[in-house]
Structure 1
């Protein structure tokens, strides 16, 4: 199986893992979340924004790095989805926070999906800069590089594990604000790994994804700073 096929396989597994995470939260842990986040117009806005953002920022980064073609970006999809959902909520006068159910699916989906980026090799253009560290990976051109995909995968898996622990403890603050915590953590760790990628800078040493990461962290911080008091969000199972 070639790199592209392996990448596609891991994309499917990532979606399945995200779906399984959502099922575990709602069916096994019996957490309740705002119902607006399952309404079809909401989901349509989310998917549209994520799709546009994924290709817009992925392709733009490719061009800024001096390469031709079309590309997708996980971070671009996140940014596009956030903008689309916030615009949808503003247009319909929705003040309810609707992201809580997506914290664990997001973290787990990225953790799995980034492995697909790793196995895809050089064609995926998600590899790191050359390194002499013993865990540097040769993607086929004879140059050991930082496996930044695995760094990101491990970081998001660690967040997922911490979130699961908080759910099992019924930590209402973490459950209620988990999505914004996931976004903030994602943006911060992504900013760090971008320092180890060969992307073209646009503002000093900062690349497009550096700026996007800062934007996501700022959004997360603003939402956390204005978060209402956490409410009980779980239903106790009947003995």
Structure 2
């Protein structure tokens, strides 16, 4: 199977694993997450934002790296989805925090999806820089490199494990604010791994994804710092 086909297959696995993770917590474990809006506009903003962010940041990174090609980025998708949803809520007056139930799906989706990136080989351009560490991997060009995709997969899998333990113990903070924890952890670990990637820099030693990671961490920190003390029903301005 080609690297492209493997990547696409694991993209499907990632989506399926994310959906199953969400269903398991809500339907099997009966975790009572804060209510979420199902308005068509909200869903459209999420999907459009994710798609736009994925292509915009993925392609920008390729251009900065001297490879003029269209690409997709999971970090760009996360940032785009967040921005799209926040703009929609601002425009419609929704003050409900809607991310809680997406924490585990995000972590599981990234953990599974990055395995596909690893298996896709050198053409996927998600590999690490050359290294002599014992676990280095040859992605097809004869050069041992950091398997940074697996580093990211392991980091998010570890977060998923810690998150599940806390949620199954019905710890309200993790249930209500877990999405912001997931985004913050994702941004932090991604910032570190970016130093082990062959991407072009855009500001000093920092790549496009370094800067995007910082933005995600700042946003997550702000949302955690401003989290309401209680966890009441959603409200809408003007209601």
TM-score, length of structure 1 as denominator length: 0.95
The 3-state SS of whatever aligns with 2:211 is helix
Partner of 1:61: 61
Counterpart contact for 1:176–1:230, Cα < 8 Å: no
Give the equivalent residue in structure 2 for 1:166.
Answer: 166
1:219 aligned partner: 219
Partner of 2:177: 177
Superposed, 1:99-138 pairs within 5 Å as 99-138=99-138
Measure the CA separation in 2 of the matches of 1:23 and 1:138: 37
Instruction: Give how far 1:69 is off.
Output: 1.1
3-state SS, counterpart of residue 195 of structure 1: helix
- Does the aligned pair in 1 maintain the 2:34–2:176 contact within 8 Å? no
In structure 2, the residue corresponding to 1:23 is in which secondary structure?
helix
Asked whether the equivalents of residues 181 and 220 of structure 1 are also in contact (C-alpha less than 8 Å), the reply is yes
The yes-or-no answer on 1:147 pairing with 2:147 is: yes
TM-score, normalised relative to structure 2: 0.95
1:1-239 correspondence to structure 2 within 5 Å: 1-231=1-231
Cα distance in 2 for partners of 1:66, 1:99 equals 36
Which string of whole-angstrom CA distances, capped at 9 and with x for unpartnered residues, describes residues 1-21 of structure 1?
111101111000000000001
Q: Name the Cα RMSD after superposition.
A: 1.3
**Any idea what SS the aligned residue of 1:140 has?**
coil
The gaps in structure 2 that reach 5 residues or longer are: 234-239
User: Following the alignment from structure 1 to structure 2, what is the Cα–Cα distance between the partners of residues 37 and 191?
Assistant: 31
Q: Alignment partner of 2:120: what SS?
A: helix
Please report how far the alpha carbon of residue 167 of structure 1 lies from its aligned counterpart in structure 2 after TM superposition: 1.3
- Superposition deviation, residue 35 in structure 1: 3.9
Provide Cα deviations, 1:172-226, integer angstroms capped at 9, x if missing partner: 1111100000000000000000000010001100000000000000000000000
3-state secondary structure, aligned to 1:82:
helix
Give how far 1:39 is off.
2.6
Moved over 6 A (4+): none
The alpha-carbon deviation at position 36 of structure 1 amounts to: 3.5
Q: Cα distance, 1:34 vs. partner?
A: 4.1
Query: How far apart are 1:168 and its partner, in Å?
Result: 1.2
